[in-house]
A and B are shown apart, each in its own frame.
Chain A
Amino acid sequence: MGRIVSMNLFEAAQPPFTANEGQLISEKTASGLMNDDGRPAENNPSPTLGAHEDARDLVRLVQCTRCSRPFRMPVTLPCGNSLCRQCLPDVYEREHITYPDIPGRLQAFQCPFEGCDREHPASDCSVDVTLTKLMESITEVVAKYAALVGDRPTMMEEVVRWDEGVSLLPAAEKPALHEIPGGRLGATFVLAAQGKLGYNVELNYLSDLSESERALDANMLAELFESTQREVDCQVCYNLMLDPVTTYCGHTLCRKCLARVLDHTHHCPVCRRGLAIPPSLQTQSSNKTLVNLLNGLCPEIVAARAEAVALEERGGEGDLDVPLFVCALGFPNQPTFLRIFEPRYRLMIRRALEANGEFGMLMYNRYLEPQGDLGPVHFYHYGIKLRILHSQVLADGTSLIESTGVYRFRVKAHGTVDGYAVGSIERLDDVPLAEEQRIEAEDTSLPPAEQGDVAGAINRMSTRSLLALGQNFILRMQDRSANWLQQRVLDIHGQPPADAALFPYWFASVLPISDEEKYKLMGTTTVRERLKITASWIRRIESQRW
């Protein structure tokens, strides 16, 4: 049992969400974010390999490219290629490196794999635990089947490649012929294990096989599959590893699982060694040997698994397919800057980036005011769909997000996935222009308002005068150098838009009034309605009632 430290397990029950889930970051720090996130996994599904027909290709999947033998204590390099530990190139002392001053990091070797050519620090290359266990299981099954075979050996002839120049071949040097007991699959593996099957060499199988020998190959492959199943289960999600990534300590997890782990800690979940992998995992290659093995042996399972993950991330069956960030208010066409530090929201943002780069943002409902059909939920039900324009992951894993409001929506239903909210949403648009005009005509033809009826007067103004009221107010405030209209604010939000439909959003974004008040714009469906709201704010400011 591990060391015991003091702890406090059942702290006062926390609400599932807190107001400060993310944090709006001050606008001046948020400029110039670089987009350096999001790296797709390389998945190239190939058809399932047959035990008998594809015996040669199957064996190649576990052959070391350097020594051509089945992997012995394989090491997976940071570039995702694997080779036997004893096939690692000689290490040399790296020069001109003083940081970090860890002995293993100062030693390196030149990567022997084509397309990599990098220098790998020796400390980043541990024995690949998953591959090693896989090879143990495979060797066991092969040995078991070797004991089962009859007398009839499998005859194999190396295929002579024309580019090697057949005419130059001395007559005595016929293509190598091998004779090994067992079915094709077992015999081919044994040939490789004996070091007699070059990685690139193809084979002609000379002997015909009986039904029973065919069955032997098929059974063996089935048993290989069965016995290796446990090794290719991810220790975090308990599923078949999807896009496996191997850490420098030699432990393998699904890329997404490793990314989630790194949201919480920088230690390997299996051995607790420190992981020097960048939080975005952007540059970390998949374990190519494992990817090829899984795609070769069970492409359907891999595909089904990818599907299931996508479904899980969408919140399961049904249409809770939009990640919802309960944080603050945002408006269409206006920028929102976010600093995401909580692990669950880092996960949410990563998933959004992998999908369409969008998520919903909702305002926190502190006093649990009822929200239509949803009742008293922890968010206001009108929100803004945000599109991520730039994201940057800092060294501590915090993400800086620059986004823009795309459209308003209403939450129809909601749930939780991995600690963050998801929902199905309904886009909220303005009424058609004809209806907008009808309303204006109706409003403006009302009998004049009573003296002192501010709301009544606003209600009767034409849409154009309502917009002009706002624009003139801004001009007056600029003349007076109002604090909230400094150049810095205009740099971020731009000049007031001439479009009456958008003006209120801009106005609300720059005006220093409460979010609860600004939220009134969110449920509007006409331009007039929004302009009336902004006009009422102006009148209240003018009469100094704020």
Chain B
Amino acid sequence: MTAPLPKRIIKETERLQSEPVPGISASPHDDNARYFDVMVEGPGGSCYEGGVFSLELFLPDDYPMCPPRIRFLTRIYHPNIDRLGRICLDVLKNNWSPALQIRTILLSIQALLGAPNPDDPLNEAVAKQWKARENQPEAIKTAREWTRLYANK
């Protein structure tokens, strides 16, 4: 038996559908309203441009006191995203606040695609490529390549 969905989750879900964010979509599963299928388009001008990335997002029992759990399902070459799709993003951990919401989190993730931060990596191997000046063009090329290969609509 499960408790009814908190009003907040209902409202957030409604707003995600009625006022969608360009380049981002999130829709809950029919049989589990806390589990969302997410699509994020790679931001224009980034090496992920043209890609459509799919993620899974889960709202834990004590959401919004705790952040949503979210990870990439689409393979992606990014210094802050590891092979399992886990994302290194401050607002998903220490800097989470219950005043944030699914919408703001997804925007942060989209922004992370536009601005990789190899200085604080989750994926050491990728970050090393990214950081070394001589390797950076190579890294960006790989990211483009992976986007074309895996994040193809």
Contact = CB atoms under 8 A, between A and B. Distances in A.
Interface of A: 1-10, 16, 235-239, 257, 260-261, 263-265, 267, 269-270, 272, 308, 312, 315-318, 320, 343-344, 413-419, 422
Interface in B111-149: 111-112, 115, 117, 120-122
A415 B61 CA distance: 11
Of the listed residues A2, A261, A263, the one surrounded by the most CB atoms of chain B closer than 10 A to its CB is: A2
B99 A238 contact: no
Nearest to B119: A4
Given A5-B120, A238-B12, A263 B86 contact: no
Given A5-B93, A5-B120, A269-B98, A260 B69 contact: no
B2 A7 contact: no
Interface residues of B, number: 41
Contact of A7 (B4, B60, B64, B89): B89
Contacts of B6: 237, 312
Nearest to A418: B62
A319 to B, nearest CB: 11
Nearest to B11: A238
B74 interface: no
Contacts of B69: 9-10
A236 B62 CA distance: 12
B66 interface: yes
B117 A4 contact: yes
A6 B8 CA distance: 29
Nearest to B93: A7
Contacts of A316: 3-4
B91 interface: yes
A426 to B, nearest CB: 16
A320 B1 CA distance: 9
Contacts of A308: 7
Of the listed residues A4, A237, A422, the one surrounded by the most CB atoms of chain B closer than 10 A to its CB is: A4
B99 A235 contact: yes
A279 to B, nearest CB: 14
Interface of B: 1-4, 6-8, 11-12, 60-62, 64-66, 69-71, 80, 84, 86-95, 97-99, 108, 111-112, 115, 117, 120-122
Nearest to A265: B97
13 contacts: A2-B95, A3-B90, A4-B89, A4-B112, A4-B120, A7-B90, A9-B71, A9-B86, A235-B99, A239-B7, A263-B65, A316-B4, A344-B62
A130 B71 CA distance: 35
B2 A8 contact: no
Given A6-B120, A236-B64, A261-B98, A317 B4 contact: yes
A107 B59 CA distance: 44
Nearest to A317: B4
A160 B94 CA distance: 60
A199 B93 CA distance: 48
A348 to B, nearest CB: 11
Contacts of B3: 312, 315-316, 320, 415-417, 422
Nearest to A1: B111
A9 B65 contact: no
A2 B105 CA distance: 11
B88 A4 contact: yes
Contacts of B64: 236
A217 to B, nearest CB: 31
B71 A264 contact: no
Given A308-B7, A422-B3, A6 B87 contact: no
Given A237-B7, A264-B65, A269 B90 contact: no
Nearest to B111: A1
